[in-house]
Structure 1
Amino acid sequence: MYSFTNRFSGPSLRERVLMMNSHRSGSSVWWRYGIWVLLMGAMAFACRHKQSRSEQVLNPTTLPATNPTRGLVVDLEDKQTWYRHMALFNNKFGTEVVVGKPVILQLKENRFVLPEDYKYSSAVYINGKEAPVDALQKLSPDYVSELFVIHQWENFAEADQEAKPYQIMIQTSSQRIPNNDRREQFFSLLRAAAISQNPLGETRSFNMNQLLEATFFHNKNALVERTKNEHLSLYDEYAKSVDVFINNLPATPADVKTIHVREVARLYAKERPYLEWLRPDNPLSRFVLNIHTSPKRAKRDSTYYVFSPFYTGDF
């Protein structure tokens, strides 16, 4: 017969019961709670400090107001209804550039110009003081140290209805500003905006009916027009600045004239970004035209195809 030892009758069980029934001193309990509270408070403070530093990094209003122009920018951005639509400024990392559409400020003959469409909706400030729009023409980019175009968010209940939606703020220098790649690209964009409505590039697609409508209304975004014999022809102003492709194969402007308008399956008209065509070294053509054709359409008649209201030829 085997005897088994009962582990629950040993001194370890009695010691545990005595420990459970013993009265703990109040100080031994409260100092642990105190340490726990201190640790939680320290963690909360650290997280809050980290969050505030992150907000400073991400928030554009942390721009130091080191000149009158920056002071105006910070004041507007603090309202939370304005943002930097375009900007050229300096930070600890170098020259910073912000670009947005549309490019409302232009450079013509090295002078700033504001298009007619934006004169009424823009306010101009030079060195922190409001100035007439015509004052822009007296400025040279070589003496502009910082430039901001601040735009108000649309459809905001808190928006300032009396303020003009575009605020152009320019800080000048008495000395010529050293040029660099970012400044050159920014001012090249403004020069391109004086030439093109889409300096950042644009691609449009037309099927046959859309092309008929575009040529009927002389919409030059298609790059081509319909001739009297119902064929296509490049607009004269684009003929020397376009790369032509027909069914993805290189072609010439003369080849475009061989395409009947009803053979067009899809036409792609692309304007390249300004960095590709407005540059001194090996500039590319400003436009690309690619026409996809459907030759079988030449054999169709009106029983196979719906007439377009912009086309009176025989289908």
Structure 2
Amino acid sequence: MYSFTNQFSGPTLRQRVSMMNNHRSGSSAWWRYTLWAILIGTMGLACRYTDKQGEQTSRPHMLPASSPTRAMVLDLEDKGTWYRHHALFQNKLGTTVVESKPVVLHLEGNKFIVPDDYKYESAVYIDGKEVPVDALEKLSPEFVRELFVMHQWENMANIDTKAKPYQIIVQTSQQPIPFDVFRKQFFTLLQAAAVSQHPLGESFSFNMNQLLEATFFHNKNALVERTKDEHLKLYDDFAKTTDIFINNLPATPAAVKTVHVREVARLYTKERSYRAWFRADNPLPRFELNIQTTPKRAKRDSSYYVFSPFYSGDF
């Protein structure tokens, strides 16, 4: 009547009991167990190989620990709270460079310097051994094989609170290393960082009230200062290295002096990346200034008042 039969009734049950009571042949049973063990072992090795391949795929930047420096880098990365902030190293594709803000290692002339702002926050290792920060000054770029600046992520769980947040790790060479385009790029960045706070470029924007505050505190990111009669003036330091635009039209430092601070609707400044200006061939001006104005606000007008503790002119 039913297509489903009880598998635990009739001869089937007797057959199962008989099979359970049968004596296994000794040698054939052991061979089956041995074969099973070999199969399980092979599968385990295959899984480990697959996991290793997966790890290499998910971490293509992983380096072989072929030097004390690389071993330290890998050890920090394995903790999950460190990353390569700056780096110069070799991989299968050639020289690789990593750049980040801020640049915590400078090159003044031919001497490595850690700025005072980062000196206390930095630990230095040369060829796997910790050394004083000032030991970097004895190194020369052509004898630096690989260099890593590792930075610990902030506000993460499980960070090492006892470790300095910047780890400068250097591998040296007995022989001078030829400079390819990427090595030149890396060390040029460090040189540019010695003369600029923003070697990788930065932009700033000010409305009128923000500009009043910036000029009151002589914030040079605005590129301009305020004269006694409340007009703008490009800092002398930037006069020869700044592209100037007023209402999107090219202008001169003299034209900036005609702009009253009350006329400023928005002021934009930009420092270009070191690649544009820190070069021997066809450098661009380092800075750009763009002023957007509202001309009718130059004189006191009942429709517009300036309420700012940083402004003492005609409101």
Task: Give TM-score, length-normalised by structure 2.
Answer: 0.83
Residue 94 (structure 2) aligns with:
94
Instruction: For 1:1-315, list aligned pairs within 5 A.
Output: 49-50=49-50, 52-59=52-59, 62-302=62-302, 304-315=304-315
Q: Write the deviation string for residues 25-76 of structure 1: whole angstroms up to 9, x where unpaired.
A: x9xxxxxxxxxxxxxxx99997875554232133267311111111111122
Q: Matches of 1:165 and 1:60 in 2, distance apart?
A: 24
Shift of 1:302: 5.0
Shift of 1:299: 4.5
Shift of 1:281: 0.6
Runs of 4+ in structure 1 deviating by more than 6 angstroms, as ranges, are 42-48
Shift of 1:307: 2.4
Kept in 2, the 8 Å contact 1:146–1:170? The answer is yes
Kept in 2, the 8 Å contact 1:301–1:314? The answer is no
The 3 A distance-change label for structure 1 pair 307 and 186 is same
Secondary structure class of the residue paired with 1:191: helix
Q: Matches of 2:138 and 2:50 in 1, distance apart?
A: 46
The 3 A distance-change label for structure 1 pair 208 and 226 is same
Kept in 1, the 8 Å contact 2:299–2:314? The answer is no
Q: Write the deviation string for residues 62-113 of structure 1: whole angstroms up to 9, x where unpaired.
A: 3111111111111222222221111100011100111111110000011100
Aligned residues: 288
Secondary structure class of the residue paired with 2:298: helix
Q: Matches of 1:199 and 1:80 in 2, distance apart?
A: 28
Provide the identity percentage.
Answer: 69
Residue 27 (structure 2) aligns with:
none
The 3 A distance-change label for structure 1 pair 43 and 174 is closer
What amino acid sits opposite 1:229 in the alignment? D
Secondary structure class of the residue paired with 1:265: strand
Q: Matches of 1:261 and 1:112 in 2, distance apart?
A: 42
Q: Matches of 1:60 and 1:154 in 2, distance apart?
A: 24
Residue 8 (structure 2) aligns with:
none
Kept in 1, the 8 Å contact 2:89–2:145? The answer is yes
The 3 A distance-change label for structure 1 pair 84 and 302 is same
Q: Write the deviation string for residues 101-151 of structure 1: whole angstroms up to 9, x where unpaired.
A: 111000001110000111111110111111111111111111101000111
What amino acid sits opposite 2:170 in the alignment? I
Kept in 1, the 8 Å contact 2:125–2:169? The answer is yes
Q: Matches of 2:96 and 2:109 in 1, distance apart?
A: 24
What amino acid sits opposite 2:187 in the alignment? F
The 3 A distance-change label for structure 1 pair 136 and 296 is same
Q: Matches of 2:135 and 2:302 in 1, distance apart?
A: 61
Secondary structure class of the residue paired with 2:245: strand
Residue 6 (structure 2) aligns with:
none
Residue 34 (structure 2) aligns with:
none
- What RMSD, in angstroms, separates the aligned Cα atoms of the two structures? 2.9
Q: Matches of 2:170 and 2:131 in 1, distance apart?
A: 10
Q: Matches of 2:222 and 2:62 in 1, distance apart?
A: 45
Kept in 2, the 8 Å contact 1:61–1:78? The answer is no
Q: 5+ residue gaps in structure 2?
A: 1-11, 17-41
Residue 39 (structure 2) aligns with:
none
Shift of 1:247: 0.6
What amino acid sits opposite 2:297 in the alignment? R
What amino acid sits opposite 1:306 in the alignment? V
Shift of 1:303: 5.4
Structure 1, 151-160 or 223-232: larger mean CA deviation: 151-160
Q: 5+ residue gaps in structure 1?
A: 1-22, 27-41
What amino acid sits opposite 2:175 in the alignment? Q
Kept in 2, the 8 Å contact 1:202–1:272? The answer is yes
Secondary structure class of the residue paired with 1:62: coil
Shift of 1:152: 1.3
Q: Matches of 1:61 and 1:76 in 2, distance apart?
A: 14
